[in-house]
Amino acid sequence: MKITQVTTILTSPNQNYLFVKIITDSGVYGVGDASLNGREQAVADLIDAYLTPLLIGRDPGQIEDFWQLAYRGTYWRGGNIMMSALCGIDMALWDILGKTSGKPLYALLGGKMRNSVLCYSHILGKTMEDKIARAADYVKQRQLKVIRLRAGIPAAAGTFGVKSPQNGPLVEPWNPEEEIYNSIEYFIRVREAVGRDVGIIYDLHERFSPDQAIRIMRSLELYNPFFIEDPIAPDCVDSLRYVREKTSVPIAFGELYKSRWECLPAITGHWVDYIRCDVIRVGGITEARKIASLAETYDIKTAWHGPNDVSPITHAVNWHLNVSEYNFGIQEDGTTDGLIHEVVSGGPVYENGSLFMEDRPGIGCDVDEAAAARYPFRKAYIPICRQGDGSLHTW
Ligand code: KDG
Ligand code: MG
């Protein structure tokens, strides 16, 4: 079997996505997700100009060889654009392998270890009061076992994807000292509202300095967070150790990591309890399973990034990883019931705090190109934060 065509599909059904479709001479094709919020066009250009020529005429079954070719064969390794492009292709190749062998992806990864996948949902709202007021009802109505809060009031609602301005990022104010108090108060009030049996994940979204994060985390120790997510930025490796040594709450980290090697110190140093890379950012299924296995070696669980800016294809890939890995921890459920389902069929479904998927060969999703064309891509930026004195701060 040989690859005859590679198509990139940029589309904006209320959020920007980039899909990859790889077609073979047997008629079997595979689909993958290469979405990189705020840089989708650059990823598509890289695939079209540089990676597609390497794929045409190749055996789609040589997944590891292509991964290494794209990663090492450029000499200039990695980066978000390269790894996202590689992921879209990697997913599509695994999808082809599943379809040609008639097996779901999880079966190719070693088979099912569990039938359902514990997941957590985001508590959304415009203000802190709004979110606190909704939390308990939302938990009851959806029968949630675990919820996720995000530091930062007002939240980013409405600033994502195609809703953001076309000529530059939307600016959100950020005053860390004030947000330390807001963040502590917010968590404690949600804990009081939902009771002690609901797990609460707190995403600090890389927004605090090590000392600020430590103040928040220590203040929340008595309120039993399920884990604190990305308390600090990933750039300085030693900072994570510093935070770890000064706090006792479980830590999940890694949605900005781009490779196994970036995860390595956090894993081997036991600075995290959960590794939560984004499968797209690390170059797809091939790399994610290596990260999972590295984490398993060190008794660290997985909590793959699953936000609403990735498509049902990535949610499905997360699910296949979750059911087939020993060290599964929890899965972020960023699935939405929006327009994306006109473009992508399949993917996990939510029921009583867990995610389920029907058995289908491969990843179990398909992309409708005609539907994608109904929602033309519009370039957009991720927002930025500025502090009171005008200086830029990590968003
Ligand atoms: O595009 C950025 C989002 O993927 C990110 O803000 C979501 O932090 C996030 C999460 O944990 O879902
Ligand atoms: Mg996050």
Residues 321-367 pLDDT 10s: 999 999 999 999 998 888 999 999 999 999 999 999 999 999 999 99
Cβ-contact 213, 232 below 8 angstroms:
yes
Tell me how far the alpha carbon of residue 238 lies from the centroid of ligand 1, in angstroms.
Answer: 23
pLDDT recorded at residue 160: 57
Verify whether ligand 1 is closer than 6 Å to residue 199 (CB atom). Answer: no
CA–CA separation, 148 vs 256, rounded Å? 18
Whole-angstrom CA distances from 154 to 28, 122, 131, 151, 284 are 46, 15, 10, 9, 32
For ligand 1, atom 8, name the residue with the nearest CA: 205
Total count of residues recorded for the chain: 395
Whether the pLDDT of residue 159 is over 70: the answer is no
Domain residue limits, the chain:
3-104, 107-363
CATH fold of 107-363, please?
TIM Barrel (3.20.20)
Q: What is the pLDDT of residues 78-133, one digit of tens each?
A: 999 999 999 999 999 999 999 999 999 999 999 999 999 999 999 988 888 999 99
Which of 309, 314, 318 for mutating ligand 1's site (highest number of atoms within 8 Å of CB)? 309
Verify whether ligand 1 is closer than 6 Å to residue 307 (CB atom). Answer: yes
Query: Please, where are the H alpha helices in the chain?
Result: 40-46, 52-55, 63-72, 80-101, 105-108, 128-142, 176-194, 210-219, 237-246, 260-268, 285-297, 312-324, 340-343, 369-373
- Superfamily designation of domain 3-104: Enolase-like, N-terminal domain (3.30.390.10)
Cβ-contact 309, 14 below 8 angstroms:
no
Q: What is the band of 161 on the pLDDT scale with cuts at 50, 70, 90?
A: low
CA–CA separation, 170 vs 36, rounded Å? 17
Q: What is the band of 164 on the pLDDT scale with cuts at 50, 70, 90?
A: low
Tell me how far the alpha carbon of residue 364 lies from the centroid of ligand 2, in angstroms.
Answer: 26
Relative to the CA of 395, which ligand 1 atom is closest? 6
Q: What is the pLDDT of residues 116-126, one digit of tens each?
A: 999 999 998 88
Instruction: Return all residues near 197 (Cβ < 8 A) that are at least 6 apart.
Output: none
Whether the pLDDT of residue 153 is over 60: the answer is no
What does the block give as tokens for 344?
């992508």
Tell me how far the alpha carbon of residue 255 lies from the centroid of ligand 2, in angstroms.
Answer: 6
Tell me how far the alpha carbon of residue 279 lies from the centroid of ligand 1, in angstroms.
Answer: 13
Q: What is the pTM of this model?
A: 0.97
pLDDT recorded at residue 171: 87
Verify whether ligand 1 is closer than 6 Å to residue 333 (CB atom). Answer: no
pLDDT recorded at residue 167: 81
For 277, list phi and psi in degrees, rounded to 5.
Answer: -65, 160
The CA-based diameter of the chain, rounded to the nearest angstrom, is 60
What value does the mean pLDDT take over residues 34-55?
97
Which of 15, 147, 150 for mutating ligand 1's site (highest number of atoms within 8 Å of CB)? 150
Q: What is the pLDDT of residues 277-323, one digit of tens each?
A: 999 999 999 999 999 999 999 999 999 999 988 999 999 999 999 99
CA–CA separation, 242 vs 247, rounded Å? 9
Amino acid at 179: E
What does the block give as tokens for 44?
């598509």
Tell me how far the alpha carbon of residue 307 lies from the centroid of ligand 1, in angstroms.
Answer: 5
Tell me how far the alpha carbon of residue 176 lies from the centroid of ligand 1, in angstroms.
Answer: 19
Which ligand is the nearest neighbour of the Cα of 334? Answer: 1
Instruction: Give me the torsion for CA of 260, 264, 270, 273, rounded to 10°.
Output: -20
For ligand 1, atom 4, name the residue with the nearest CA: 307
For 374, list phi and psi in degrees, rounded to 5.
Answer: -70, -15
CB atoms within 10 A of CB 195: 9
